[in-house]
A and B are shown apart, each in its own frame.
Chain A
Amino acid sequence: MFRGNPAHSGVYTSAGPRQFHRIKWKFPTGDRIVSSPVLSDGAIYFGGDDGNIYAVEAASGRQLWKHTTGGPVPCTPAIDNGVVYATSYDGKFYALDAKTGGVRWKFATEGERRFEAKGIHGLQPKNQTIADPWDVFLSSPIVAQGAVYFGSGDGNLYAIDTATGELRWKFQTGDVVHASPAYDNGTVFVGSWDSYFYAVDAATGKEKWRFHGGEDPTVHNQVGFQSSPAVIDGVVYTGCRDAQVYALDAATGKEKWRFDNALSWVISSPAVNQGKVYFATSDSSLYHVADAATGKSVLKQQDKAYMFSSPAIAGDVVVIGVLNGTLQARDLKTGEALWNFETDKSKENKGWVLTKDRSFNEPFLYHSNWREAPLVAADRQFGIGAIFSSPLISDGVIYFGATDGYLYALE
């Protein structure tokens, strides 16, 4: 499942790929991929914005099956007990046979939508409600206690019985839930775009506690949990669009520390490993390592472009995707760059979206009609093989998707 396990640690048991040798295979789809791949029994599963849920043979990159939904699938499937679970923009939740792609059951939510607001990011016209172009992910499910848990654009956190597809409970938040829930010790943790982070009893759906993040009533830019939490050793770590990374006591919701990122979103989901928290920022394009106990900075490195992808740790290597179409591998301890892989589309640099050194070329990225610029800019970012997907690492092979429509396997 997303981030490797229900606690979302982002840590994989594979050896760390310290060198890049070649593209093992790349698998074409019909549209961009922002979903992150997962692996089970030799098959890679992921969603495509072409509306399909895919199963691909990990060894060869050969398609095993695809199941067409009624909308884009920018979520990461969960695999449990031979069943693939995924959400779709058609507002339905799918349980598919992992071998065949056949439907076990479907569950209809109250309907998907993106986060939206009047005047969002300063977009005009100000009195018109506009969907957030950077609300790119759907909530990725987790499975625990015989239920599958996921968030929805209808504002609910759902618990569905895995055997029957029946609703066990739903927990209503105040806005879109596209962050992915994490599970630990009988509790489901998830953030909402209503500015609150919730801990919910996994069995009953009753709220245990809530934590209030930042608000932004003016342009709705600095509000909402889009990042997904990691829960390690009784502490919840989550990024937020209010530019903070929070560490919260998993039992009480009490804030242990916060890491301020100076107005820069933290969409990336933190990875936690051996007492350190690894995360990346959007606008400021910084890669951070912080002490898990105190939140003090251990390492900070300037990157080239926004990062929505979440870091994946394998052995002594950390791998992360960058929206400039680069997959980066760093030394876990020092942060030293080990190797980069660049998608072909990013090397084409359509519309000069990137500078020569592969930073975002903001005058060309945002040029457009007046203040519709963010809408157009998001589309331009998608057009250069950007990597929103979080890497999966197994047996020294790295799997990830890109907005050029390919799922890559690198070794």
Chain B
Amino acid sequence: MRVVILLLFTSALTTYASTPVAGRWEGSVQIPGSAFNLILDLDQSAAREWIGSIIIPGLGVKGAPLTELAINDSAVSGTIKGALTGPRTGNTSIKASLTSDGRLNGELIAAGNIASFALRRTGSPQVELPPKSTVVSKNFVGEWKGDYEMDGYPRHVTLTLANGESNGATAQLTVVGKRTNEPVVDLVLEENGFLTIQAHDFGITYEGRLSKELDSVKGTFTLGPFELPLTLRRTP
């Protein structure tokens, strides 16, 4: 029995030592005129890859994934994906290191502004994983075209859907107005004939249902505050 307890204790120590930054970390970040709570979850996946997400109540950030996550010994860095980001300002990132007294101290970096934070471990990690694209039925695979009108002139939309080998469906989206835009689609979902695609960085969502004839998708194209009807028809 003593041996078993010793082994368990040793195992726990080993786990802790190999993943010293894993856990839920909480503290605050002070930007000029405002202090915000900051909650950071860091963990390792079953494949032993680091995963993380961040919550900043008051800044509209809840469970935003950390990408480009790099953890070397006691140093942590990552980029907040899908929140506090803009086409002109780029992404917000964090950089931190574990202190000798077990705190995680670092900086929040946004558009050249830098604010310090100090976090303490408050529990086990609760990383929120981002939704993953699903496979779409074969009825959706292929090229679709449609038009919507905004500000008095038409935009021509082409959506091409394909199923990837392992990571669900992919989509290519082209919107031609006065200019041609090709927003990167980062999520494709299909459930019972209802399609959702998102290009988060562009504020674009398209949701639509496949017709019984399988030749059109009737739905809504959302661009920021604009919600516009858009029916896509299969390209012959």
**A contact set with B: CB distance below 8 Å:** 121-123, 214-216, 218-219, 222, 262-263, 348-352, 355-357, 359, 361-364, 367-369, 371, 383
Within 1-40 of B, Cβ neighbours of A (below 8 Å) are at: 31-34
B111 within 8 A of A: yes
B interface residues, tally (CB under 8 Å): 25
Q: Taking A123-B225, A364-B59, A371-B225 as contacts, is the C-beta distance between A356 and B112 under 8 angstroms?
A: yes
Within 141-195 of B, Cβ neighbours of A (below 8 Å) are at: 150-152, 178
Please tell me if the beta carbons of A363 and B33 are within 8 angstroms of each other in the complex: no
A-B contact pairs, 26 of them (CB 8 A): A121-B225, A122-B225, A218-B226, A219-B226, A262-B178, A263-B151, A348-B32, A348-B33, A349-B113, A352-B110, A355-B111, A356-B111, A359-B88, A361-B111, A361-B113, A362-B86, A363-B85, A363-B86, A363-B92, A363-B110, A363-B111, A364-B59, A364-B84, A367-B59, A369-B60, A371-B225
Please tell me if the beta carbons of B31 and A367 are within 8 angstroms of each other in the complex: no
* B178 to chain A: closest residue by CB: A262
Interfacial chain B residues near A356, Cβ < 8 Å: 111-113
What separation, in Å, do the CA atoms of A356 and B109 have in the docked complex? Answer: 11
The distance from the CB of B230 to the nearest CB of chain A, in whole angstroms, is: 14
The distance from the CB of A382 to the nearest CB of chain B, in whole angstroms, is: 13
What separation, in Å, do the CA atoms of A263 and B150 have in the docked complex? Answer: 11
* B59 to chain A: closest residue by CB: A367
Please tell me if the beta carbons of B89 and A362 are within 8 angstroms of each other in the complex: yes
Decide if the interface of chain B is mainly helix, strand, loop or mixed. Answer: loop
What separation, in Å, do the CA atoms of A331 and B5 have in the docked complex? Answer: 80
The distance from the CB of B137 to the nearest CB of chain A, in whole angstroms, is: 32
Decide if the interface of chain A is mainly helix, strand, loop or mixed. Answer: loop
What separation, in Å, do the CA atoms of A122 and B224 have in the docked complex? Answer: 8
**B contact set with A: CB distance below 8 Å:** 31-34, 59-60, 83-86, 88-89, 92, 110-113, 115, 150-152, 178, 224-226
Interfacial chain A residues near B33, Cβ < 8 Å: 348, 350-351, 383
* A374 to chain B: closest residue by CB: B225
The distance from the CB of A64 to the nearest CB of chain B, in whole angstroms, is: 34
* A369 to chain B: closest residue by CB: B60
Please tell me if the beta carbons of A351 and B86 are within 8 angstroms of each other in the complex: no
What separation, in Å, do the CA atoms of A48 and B88 have in the docked complex? Answer: 34
Please tell me if the beta carbons of B110 and A364 are within 8 angstroms of each other in the complex: yes
The distance from the CB of A90 to the nearest CB of chain B, in whole angstroms, is: 31
What separation, in Å, do the CA atoms of A368 and B88 have in the docked complex? Answer: 19
What separation, in Å, do the CA atoms of A383 and B33 have in the docked complex? Answer: 10
Please tell me if the beta carbons of B151 and A222 are within 8 angstroms of each other in the complex: yes
What separation, in Å, do the CA atoms of A156 and B178 have in the docked complex? Answer: 37
What separation, in Å, do the CA atoms of A248 and B54 have in the docked complex? Answer: 54
* A362 to chain B: closest residue by CB: B86
Please tell me if the beta carbons of A352 and B151 are within 8 angstroms of each other in the complex: no
The distance from the CB of B14 to the nearest CB of chain A, in whole angstroms, is: 40
Please tell me if the beta carbons of B112 and A357 are within 8 angstroms of each other in the complex: yes
Interfacial chain B residues near A263, Cβ < 8 Å: 151
What separation, in Å, do the CA atoms of A362 and B110 have in the docked complex? Answer: 11
Please tell me if the beta carbons of B32 and A350 are within 8 angstroms of each other in the complex: yes
Interfacial chain B residues near A222, Cβ < 8 Å: 151
Q: Taking A121-B225, A219-B225, A262-B178 as contacts, is the C-beta distance between A214 and B31 under 8 angstroms?
A: no
What separation, in Å, do the CA atoms of A121 and B59 have in the docked complex? Answer: 21
What separation, in Å, do the CA atoms of A363 and B151 have in the docked complex? Answer: 25
What separation, in Å, do the CA atoms of A356 and B115 have in the docked complex? Answer: 12
* B112 to chain A: closest residue by CB: A356
What separation, in Å, do the CA atoms of A216 and B178 have in the docked complex? Answer: 18
Minimum-distance CB pairs A-B, first 7: A122-B225, A356-B112, A350-B33, A355-B111, A362-B86, A363-B84, A367-B60
Q: Taking A121-B225, A364-B59 as contacts, is the C-beta distance between A351 and B34 under 8 angstroms?
A: yes
Interfacial chain A residues near B89, Cβ < 8 Å: 355, 359, 361-363
The distance from the CB of B146 to the nearest CB of chain A, in whole angstroms, is: 18
* B31 to chain A: closest residue by CB: A352
The distance from the CB of A344 to the nearest CB of chain B, in whole angstroms, is: 12
Which of B150, B152, B225, B226 lies at the interface centre, i.e. has the most chain A CB atoms within 10 A of its CB? B225
The distance from the CB of A366 to the nearest CB of chain B, in whole angstroms, is: 9
Interfacial chain A residues near B31, Cβ < 8 Å: 351-352
What separation, in Å, do the CA atoms of A121 and B88 have in the docked complex? Answer: 20
What separation, in Å, do the CA atoms of A295 and B111 have in the docked complex? Answer: 36
Please tell me if the beta carbons of A362 and B178 are within 8 angstroms of each other in the complex: no
* A221 to chain B: closest residue by CB: B225
Please tell me if the beta carbons of A352 and B113 are within 8 angstroms of each other in the complex: yes
The distance from the CB of A337 to the nearest CB of chain B, in whole angstroms, is: 20
Q: Taking A359-B89, A362-B88 as contacts, is the C-beta distance between A214 and B110 under 8 angstroms?
A: no
Interfacial chain A residues near B83, Cβ < 8 Å: 363
What separation, in Å, do the CA atoms of A245 and B192 have in the docked complex? Answer: 49
* B113 to chain A: closest residue by CB: A352
Interfacial chain A residues near B85, Cβ < 8 Å: 363
Please tell me if the beta carbons of B32 and A351 are within 8 angstroms of each other in the complex: yes
Interfacial chain A residues near B225, Cβ < 8 Å: 121-123, 219, 371
The distance from the CB of B34 to the nearest CB of chain A, in whole angstroms, is: 5
What separation, in Å, do the CA atoms of A128 and B132 have in the docked complex? Answer: 36
Please tell me if the beta carbons of A349 and B32 are within 8 angstroms of each other in the complex: yes
The distance from the CB of A273 to the nearest CB of chain B, in whole angstroms, is: 31
Known: A349-B113, A351-B34, A363-B111. 14 other contacts (CB 8 A): A121-B225, A122-B224, A122-B226, A214-B152, A216-B151, A218-B226, A219-B225, A263-B151, A351-B31, A359-B89, A363-B86, A363-B92, A364-B111, A367-B59
What separation, in Å, do the CA atoms of A359 and B110 have in the docked complex? Answer: 12
Interfacial chain B residues near A262, Cβ < 8 Å: 178
Interfacial chain B residues near A359, Cβ < 8 Å: 88-89, 111
* B33 to chain A: closest residue by CB: A350
What separation, in Å, do the CA atoms of A123 and B110 have in the docked complex? Answer: 26
